[in-house]
Amino acid sequence: MIPIIGLVIGIAIGVVLNPDVPLWLQPYLPIAVIAALDAIFGGIRATLDGIFNDKVFVVSFISNVIVAAFIVFIGDQLGVGSQLTTGVVVVLGVRIFANVASIRRHLFKA
């Protein structure tokens, strides 16, 4: 219940304050969101499997976001930012879909 309350409060703050993302940060934000979603779905899967650990989740969440953004940053510096961005999206997308499939199998016993 606490995570849902935190999500609602975070969305409300975002809607009220309407923050602007700095121009230099805009290429990294979508990748950071996808990396965060990967950690969230991994946490849900771990909860359903009965192996969730809050410390592991926090470290996974933060490290996923930092590593994904760093890979895109390196790609930008090398002049291949769009290719590395696509690679990160594909890898994290596969992980997200694998976690969602596991969650679905767990919930629907299918």
CA distance 45 to 40: 9
CA distance 23 to 26: 5
pLDDT above 80 for 77 = yes
Task: Write out the two tokens for 4.
Answer: 């849902």
Average pLDDT over every residue of 49-70: 92
pLDDT tens-digit readout, 83-97: 888 989 999 999 999
CA distance 28 to 77: 13
Give the N- to C-terminal CA distance of the chain in Å, as an integer. Answer: 27
Task: Write out the two tokens for 44.
Answer: 């849900």
Residue-level pLDDT at 38: 94
pLDDT above 90 for 49 = yes
pLDDT above 80 for 110 = no
